[in-house]
Amino acid sequence: MSEATVLERVEVAAGVLGPLAARGVPLGPMTTYRVGGAAALWVKPRSVDELHLIAEACRLGRLPVLVVGRGSNLLVADDGFAGVAVSLGELSASIEITGSQVRAGGAVALPMLARRTVASSLTGFEWAVGVPGSVGGGVRMNAGGHGSDMAANLVEIDMFDLMRGEATVLPGSALGLRFRGSDLGDHQVVLDATLTLEPGDRSRSERELDEIVRWRREHQPGGQNAGSVFVNPVPGEVTAGALIDRIGFRGHRLGTAHVSDKHANFIQADEGGSAADVRALIELVRERVAVETGHRMRSEVKLVGFEDPREHPEHPDAGVRW
């Protein structure tokens, strides 16, 4: 698609959104990689009515939409995203706990929800204290760790479909949740998620939180990264990190990106670095592992604004195309 056509579509969508939309808002700083370009349009809806307006703008402008949560699994192209980026913010930031049932907004940070459930003497969500994402992103990717995941406790979600302009309630069983994935698409926004947990011992759970945080600090790097890049090819048996170590790529550098010295399944971006370098290194590692070990690894990182993401076809976030 030509640049002129993209600009025309952006103008159509901007005309529908009016003052609700901001132009050229940098997305890189909103991600944990902290690299990449800007969104053509940026919207922070305050109501479901405004979500309907966004749906109308995307339909008339024929633009893709991207929901930005905590940005912990996003890599935005250096040229940015020629579409409408949406941040739920206060629209989906509440937490309600009634007995063993927890209802949390899609914008709630997973670590915050983990601590709130423990403070309410509930157990089963401690694992989330080490996952730097949002509830909505956690549902979409079926986030997990330390032997559990979102699917273990998810009852249902309130979802808004930006393609159809419809709000609906879906049971967890209808989401196609699988190891680090689901059937939810870019246009399907998780407004709220309802979980059922178990009564627990607060002191014991607080110790578990501390242990998870300690373990992650000892075994995983900080800095500019998106956590584990690749899904373990055979969960519980073959890990992506071990395969990357096997080909000798721990510490391998490509331009402004490098494989972490601390954990081989993490790729670090330099301050002021290039998203193209991060993406190129992801592809290089994937290809080398495939050639030398026979394992074709699927990336957990969502590529935004790249025209040829070459992601595994089973990944629901196989890239954004205009």
Catalytic residues: 180, 228, 300
Please name which of 237, 219, 236, 233 lies closest in space to residue 286, comparing C-alpha atoms.
233
Q: In what order do the strands lie in the sheet with 38-43?
A: 21-26, 38-43, 81-86, 65-67
DSSP tally for the chain: helices H, then strands E: 7, 18
Rounded Cα distance between 258 and 225, Å, is: 10
SS3 state at 113: helix
Give the residues across from 156 on adjacent strands.
Answer: 171, 194
DSSP symbol at 24: E
Exposure pattern of 198-211 as b/e (b: 16+ CB <10 Å)? eebeeeebeebbee
SS3 state at 178: strand
Beta strands 122-123; 198-199: pairing state: antiparallel
Residues 48/89, Cβ–Cβ less than 8 Å: no
For residue 69, CA distances in Å to 100, 107, 134, 307 come to 26, 6, 6, 22
Token representation of residue 293: 């070990």
